[in-house]
A = this chain, B = another copy of it.
């Protein structure tokens, strides 16, 4: 749209609305790890932080809820949910089934420029050594591959699954390091090749393998999850 490159893959919602602006800022803070699972989001505190009244904050919390980033209890407030190992495992199994569909539908409309962009991201991943940077690049890699999917609902559901598990991916990476980078790069290269050939079967195969291996690796570190 504009000359500025947007970091978010989908069309960003208009920022003129205060509630949406607060929701976006809170979402970024949560995904960046500044707000962690288990923390309460007090309306008054957020309101003064953004120089607004509590009303748009309440709407923002509802938006966060619809994104799966917060749970609202009546008369109790909003908090970031703490996920158990079992729950994250389920989220990843949902991803293994859903994301191939997102990718397959995206393959029907993906452009050469988008494929080039994915390859550029992968090159940057292979040169990168910082863990936090990897989380951003990995997300960009996959989201760009999904960007051409025509179904907003499918994209939104995929994004929800990514957002809800973001904290545990980071906790795992900070703990285990990126010494498995060679495996990730091999998987990404195979996936990228299948995408560039616009081959739905191979794309699904390598994507499922990639998500599944990540799930197994994640769940081998129970200490980063809630105690169930």
Residue numbers of A with Cβ under 8 A of B are 13-14, 16-17, 20, 55, 58-59, 62-63, 65-66, 68, 74-75, 86-87, 90-91, 93-94, 97-98, 100-101, 105, 150-151, 153-154, 157, 164
Partner of A66, one of B66, B75, B153: B66
Q: Is the CB of B74 within 8 A of A153?
A: no
Supposing A17-B74, A66-B66, A94-B101 touch, asked if A164 and B157 sit within 8 A by C-beta, the answer is no
Across-interface contacts of A58 in B (CB, < 8 A): 59
B164 A90 Cβ-Cβ under 8 A: no
**Bound CA–CA A20/B63 (angstroms):** 15
Tell me how far the C-beta of A2 lies from the nearest C-beta in chain B, rounded to whole angstroms: 19
Q: Who on chain B is nearest to A164 by CB?
A: B153
Docked Cα-Cα span, A109 to B87, in Å, equals 15
Interface-centre pick from A13, A97, A105 (highest chain B CB count, 10 A): A97
Number of copies: 2
Contacts of A93 in B (CB 8 A): 101
Contact of A86 among B65, B98, B150 (CB under 8 A): B150
8 Å CB contact of A74 from B20, B105, B150: B20
Residues of B close to A68: CB separation below 8 A: 153
Contact of A154 among B13, B14, B90, B151 (CB under 8 A): B90
**With A86-B150, A153-B87, A157-B157 known to touch, is A14 a contact of B97 (CB < 8 Å)?**
no
A34 CB to nearest B CB, Å:
23
- Bound complex: CA of A58 vs CA of B13, how far in Å? 18
Pair B59/A157 contact, Cβ less than 8 Å:
no
In the A-B complex, list the 6 residue pairs whose CB atoms are closest, starting with the nearest: A66-B66, A62-B62, A97-B97, A90-B151, A17-B74, A14-B74
